[in-house]
Amino acid sequence: MSLPKFTYLAPASLEEACNLLGKYQGKIRIKAGGTDLMVRLAQRALKPEYIVGIRQIPELATISFNPEEGLRLGAMALLYDVACNPIIQEHYPMLARAAKSTATVQIRNMGTVMGNICNASPSADNSPTLVAMNATIVAVSPAGERKIPIDEFFLGPGRSALEPMEIAKEILVPAPLPRSGVSYQKISPRSKVDIAAVNVGAMVVVDEQGTCQQARICLGAVGPVPLRASTAEEFLQGKVITDEVAEQAGALAGTDASPISDVRASKEYRRLMVIILTKRALLEARHGTSI
């Protein structure tokens, strides 16, 4: 299938890219990996007059870690690179797991974590862990930079908080807290590389006695945006996460979900999987804490 006609622009800096967005506002789209964009172009779902490729901007490929500040993932950090990066595997293993579970090898070699986030798909593989770990999206525009908490980034299916003249520059992930653990769980209808029918990210922080001090649970593919399971989070405060407590929290997470039925799963199946995957995620995250 042929693509619609467009002019391709390849800026060498973020400043130049932002200026192009301002100059061609309403007629331009950003291309990072392009794995979703090219499909939408081929389907004529999008017909921009200009496409600005950001692959040639060196600072956007950065993956760096500071024990005090945490992790920085540039907008062009490939899914493959995040999945295989030894620093991420050591300090953020669930980010690596989520990236590795995204689509196929070919897609991971081209696609980016930022692209997966900015598509604002409710079933995106990389959203639940980043929400659970309280990440921040840094956006840049001709007016400067601003930081968007990831809890405020998703506005609806395919809709994010990015303004028309903004480019998502990097993802900031806080340094892992003492005695914390994270988990990512996913179930898909056909295989591990298929789009998630349900996915769950969870972070648990405990005190020296193993009592839960903080819990963040994010549910994917069961609402218009990645959802925080706030009822389950509140329930876990001050409790030791045993099998029974994790099961109760899973049941509460099921009430926080608002799934629909589609070609991948029924709403009843999705709600059941939220209960099961939340329990698994909490127990794995709790097991990953060190007291």
As beta bridge partners, residue 262 has none
Which sign does the torsion angle of CA 151, 230, 260, 123 carry?
A: positive
| Predicted pLDDT at 213 | 97
Segment 191-217 shows an average pLDDT of 92
Q: What is the pLDDT of residues 7-65, one digit of tens each?
A: 999 999 999 999 999 899 989 999 999 888 888 898 888 899 999 999 999 999 999 99
Segment 219-225 shows an average pLDDT of 98
Q: What is the pLDDT of residues 63-73, one digit of tens each?
A: 999 999 999 99
Residue 30 lies in a domain: yes
Q: Whole-angstrom Cα distance, residue 110 to residue 19?
A: 25
On whether both 127 and 219 belong to a single domain, the answer is no
On whether both 78 and 155 belong to a single domain, the answer is yes
Label residue 216 by pLDDT band (50, 70, 90): very high
Among the candidates 139, 173, 207, a domain finishes at 173
Among the candidates 155, 173, 191, a domain finishes at 173
Q: What is the pLDDT of residues 62-113, one digit of tens each?
A: 999 999 999 999 999 999 999 999 999 999 999 999 999 998 889 899 999 9
Q: How many domains does the chain have?
A: 3
Among the candidates 136, 154, 173, a domain finishes at 173
Label residue 291 by pLDDT band (50, 70, 90): very low
Given a cut of 70, is residue 201 above it in pLDDT?
Answer: yes
Residue 2 lies in a domain: no
Residue 1 lies in a domain: no
On whether both 133 and 204 belong to a single domain, the answer is no
On whether both 225 and 275 belong to a single domain, the answer is yes
Segment 102-129 shows an average pLDDT of 94
Q: What is the pLDDT of residues 265-287, one digit of tens each?
A: 999 999 999 999 999 999 999 99
Given a cut of 90, is residue 214 above it in pLDDT?
Answer: yes
> What range defines the domain where residue 238 resides?
180-287
Percent of the chain topping pLDDT 90: 85
| Predicted pLDDT at 193 | 60
CATH number of the domain at 166, please.
3.30.465.10
- Yes or no: say if 258 and 161 are a contact pair by the CB < 8 Å rule: no
